[in-house]
Structure 1
Amino acid sequence: MIILTGASGGIGRAILSSLMTLDEVIAIYNKNPPEISGMTGVTAYQVDLTSESAVDDFVVGMKDKLSRITLIHAAALARQDRLAVQFKTEDWDQVMEVNLRGNFLLTRALLMPMIKEKWGRIIHFSSAAGMHVAPGTLAYSTSKTALLGMSRVLSNEYARFGITSNVLINGYFNAGMYQDLSEKAQKKLIDSIPSRQLGDPVNIVNAIEFLMKSDYVNGSEISIDGGL
């Protein structure tokens, strides 16, 4: 079973139809339900990932269905670019709530079912934008680089239970936050990619399939950015 967060977001939406060819998919969303009509084996659930009780209620409600869990953390939030001295505290808190707290809460809640089954795959989505630490991206970059530490600790703690934790560092695709950039910013990003083109989201799905099948790839970071 694949549990995908951020299923109605840009990248989540872009990979959802391909993920259903790999396994049954639980598509988690916050406000706007994903378009799943015509998709076989996909069920959408609304869950506030920043709420401990909402996350726990979701997992308890799913306990009889959970099996061979691949947890994909695609949910992410960014706020308007500002230099650190101008960055609003509430914006910082919101980014951390979604990008880190939500990841932690759902991972923690699903660890026991994974441990009992002695199988699990945890896949965190980081970002090339976060790794390159551009000015004005303090909260987003902090949250995305923090996922590397989180994943490495999880990989160390739960490998003995057949659970792996890895990070996909995604570059620029014709989906997601890239589409919110100005035309000038989009051109600058494309010019920075060696192939001078955006990635096809199927590359992300290919990496997910690889990690699902690979029990000895653990605590790793895989860049999917065209050589950026």
Structure 2
Amino acid sequence: MSEPTSPTARSVLITGGSRGIGRGLAQRFAAAGHKVATTSRSGEAPEGVLGIACDITDAGQVDAAFTEIEQAHGPVEILVANAGITRDTLLLRMSDEDWDAVIATNLTGAFRVVKRATRAMMRQRFGRVVLISSVVGLLGSAGQVNYAASKSGLVGLARSLTRELGGRGVTANVVAPGFIETDMTAELSEEQVKAYLAQIPTGRLGTIDDVADTVAWLTGDGAGYVSGAVIPVDGGLGMGH
């Protein structure tokens, strides 16, 4: 895998880093020599990465996790808010609990870690925030009203953050992956995969490396003038949205 463009070793935090895209991102940054920490409910992390058990729906746990990271690696300079859950069902069957749980993790959890991370970023006059959204947040998806709303909300969060902190050297961008090959998509049937592929102009599912390449660029020195952007990594599935 190629390395991030930034030659400077940074303190990096990736939420939801125990598996899937988050785990792949952690491995990418660690291989490039960054000081990497991940949070997840299990605390599991790749080798060479500081793994912290943290439920981002709990403000006290978030603050404790940041304190531990700051003691080990220094203030967080690069934050990738990746943690997310789904509770899919059609709107008329969706319970308040289904809605609240997804919003609490995917949107409020992102707000909470961004707020905590940007304190130090403002003081240092440097920071890179990347929010991992989804093509579903731009296109919508039947059976995913809660998930789509939470992922769409990240766009407003990033753009408002850009307007507030852009003058302090802090950038905030959104990466919106499409159908990416992970443990989750590996469980799809052959018929489901074919149906998805028929909608994707590039004719293939994305890889974790596709997402990691984009995140690496956004957090490197070469993207210091890019902020408030929404970058789809979806093979053209959501173009125009």
Q: TM-score, normalised by structure 2?
A: 0.87
The aligned counterpart of 2:24 is 14
Q: Structure 2, unaligned stretches of length 5 or more? A: 1-10
Q: Tell me, yes or no, if the aligned pair for 1:30 and 1:48 is still in contact at 8 Å.
A: yes
Cα RMSD for the two superposed structures: 1.6
The aligned counterpart of 2:12 is 2
Q: How does 1:94-105 map onto structure 2 within 5 Å?
A: 94-105=101-112
Deviation at 1:209, TM superposition (A): 1.8
Q: How does 1:194-213 map onto structure 2 within 5 Å?
A: 194-212=201-219, 213=221
SS in structure 2 opposite 1:124?
strand
Q: How does 1:104-119 map onto structure 2 within 5 Å?
A: 104-119=111-126
Classify 1:117/1:103 alpha carbon distance in 2 versus 1 (closer, same or farther; 3 Å).
Answer: same
The aligned counterpart of 2:39 is 28
SS in structure 2 opposite 1:63?
helix
The aligned counterpart of 2:231 is 222
Residue of 169, 173, 185 corresponding to 2:192: 185
Counterpart check, 1:77 vs 2:88: no
Deviation at 1:68, TM superposition (A): 5.8
Distance in 1 (CA, whole Å) between partners of 2:66 and 2:86 is 26
Counterpart check, 1:66 vs 2:74: yes
Q: Tell me, yes or no, if the aligned pair for 2:15 and 2:81 is still in contact at 8 Å.
A: yes
Q: After superposition, what is the alpha-carbon deviation per residue over 1:155-196, rounded to whole angstroms, capped at 9, x for unaligned?
A: 110011100000001111111543344443222112211121
Q: After superposition, what is the alpha-carbon deviation per residue over 1:102-160, rounded to whole angstroms, capped at 9, x for unaligned?
A: 11111111111111111000000011123221211100000011110011000110011
Classify 1:32/1:178 alpha carbon distance in 2 versus 1 (closer, same or farther; 3 Å).
Answer: farther
Q: TM-score, normalised by structure 1?
A: 0.91
Classify 1:124/1:206 alpha carbon distance in 2 versus 1 (closer, same or farther; 3 Å).
Answer: same
Q: Tell me, yes or no, if the aligned pair for 1:71 and 1:121 is still in contact at 8 Å.
A: yes
Deviation at 1:225, TM superposition (A): 0.9
Deviation at 1:204, TM superposition (A): 1.5
The aligned counterpart of 2:58 is 51
Greater CA drift, 20-29 or 10-19? 10-19
